[in-house]
Amino acid sequence: MNALLSVVYLVATITFIVGLKMLGHPATAKKGNYVAASGMGIAILGTLLLHGLVVPTMIYILIGLAILVGGSIGALMAVKVKMTKMPELVSLFNGFGGASAALIGLVAFGSQLADATQATTVISGIVIGALTFSGSIIAWGKLDGTFKSVVNIPKRNLINNLLLLGIVVFAGYMVLSGQQQPMFIYLLLGASLLYGVLFVLPIGGADMPVVISLLNSLTGIAAAITGVLYSNMVMLVGGILVGSAGIILTIAMCRAMNRTLLAVVFGSFGGGETVEGEDRAAGSITKTNAGDAAILMNYAKNVIIVPGYGLAVAQAQHVIHELEELLTKRGVDVKYAIHPVAGRMPGHMNVLLAESNVDYDLLVEMEDINPHFSNTDVVLVVGANDVVNPAAHNDPSSPIYGMPILDVEKAKHIIVNKRSMNPGYAGIENELFYNAKTAMLFGDAKAALTELVAELKNM
């Protein structure tokens, strides 16, 4: 590698790190994306123009066409995607990254591998890339509703563990024996793709944020392996950044759910359906309307808003921001309570509210907001379910028992906006809905909040 290309890669690496740092705050996240993307553009141009190899003109034309087509598709997807579909898009991006790593490994395997180290690198990239691709596609299908939230496979853990062990043993045999028959590598590829499918199929929808984060981490690892294969420092560093960040985020979310990563991987929590014959929570519900809810909030000193996936589905983030501004002008102290796994992907609620220009300082994490619920006049829950379910504290038999939740039940008054009494993604009843302090405001979040804003304006 010539000195100028090394400098280009160093600059690109610095932009990745700076961009990642800027992504940590909504106020700088957009700029951070541009910084990191610019760094990748610099790395690509540097690789194409400064590699020092003799390359036929036709190859440059094909590369240019690939960049044009891929960039156009990516830009179109990013512009057209709705916020409700952002988790699915993230899953697809994870999958494409894994597929790229697997394809690069297959190309490298087609040439003569110099030694066992190179063979290990290539085969690892193929295995990790393939299972990341197929697993991400299944995750996309679950989030999109194409596949069932949970597919119960008899003796799934035994089957998956035996398949994984077989993949590791067979890969080890190929490395040690120097076996480079195409049939063998395609067999390994197929087994890895199958494992990715079987790995994600039994995992419930409530665990999807963790799964997406884990698959994202694996994509980074696959990219880092590819960087090792081609001695490309920018791919190596970029992959390490994605992989390490994904692992840290995965562990953080598991802690937020009071679950181990093994419990997520080998469990099926979050089926999205109630168990037949399950006892419904005792008690009756209290219904309210927009007018009564507006009166309650208008005379409150402080209000906490708890956003959930239902807010994203209804595309009601702009209306809830209008509600927040209206209350603030009337002297009401308004905050947003953010649970780490609210929504369908890591940081989903933060991204959703940032889109409507909600002040980031109003977003308060679970650990910081929980002590304030007991002194809060009104809590408005919009589309959230499992992350506010008191069963996590009160019912040892509940699948979410022990999971840290937002302590909404401690507030003086609670308004819950939902379409219906259907359970959340975890498939269990919510005790909060039957609380004597809770009033249910039924209806589509956007329509209900719009009516609530109109009632407030008339006061």
Q: Which residues are catalytic?
A: 386
- The rounded radius of gyration (Å) of the Cα atoms in the chain is 25
CA 382 – CA 446 distance, rounded (Å): 10
Closest by Cα among 241, 223, 240, 233 to 5: 233
What's the CA gap between 403 and 401, in Å, rounded?
A: 6
DSSP per-residue letters across 188-227: HHHHHHHHHHHHHTTS-GGGHHHHHHHHHHHHHHHHHHHH
Count CB neighbours of 345 within 10 A.
22
Using CA atoms, how far apart are residues 229 and 106, in angstroms rounded to an integer? 12
The DSSP letter of residue 26 is: H
Give the residue carrying structure tokens 């956007």: 446
User: Tokens representing 432?
Assistant: 């909060």
Task: Work out the burial of residue 69: count CB atoms within 10 Å of its CB; fewer than 13 is exposed, 13-18 middle, 19 or more buried.
Answer: exposed
Rounded alpha-carbon distances, angstroms, from residue 438 to 99, 293, 413: 48, 11, 6
Sheet holding 302-307, edge to edge: 363-365, 333-338, 302-307, 378-382, 413-418, 438-442
Beta-bridged to residue 381, according to DSSP, are 306, 416
Apex 221 CA angle, 220 and 222, nearest 5: 90
Q: Is the distance from CB of 172 to CB of 166 less than 8 angstroms? A: no
The CA–CA distances, whole Å, from 436 to 201, 282, 287, 290, 375 equal 39, 12, 11, 19, 17
For tokens 């379409």, what's the residue?
419
Direct distance between the N- and C-terminal alpha carbons of the chain, in angstroms, rounded to an integer: 70
Q: Are 321 and 356 in contact (CB under 8 A)?
A: yes
Phi, psi angles (nearest 5°) of residue 447 = -65, -45
Instruction: Write the CB contacts of 288 (distance below 8 Å, at least 6 apart in sequence).
Output: 415, 439, 440, 441
Triad 145, 149, 153: Cα angle to 5°? 130
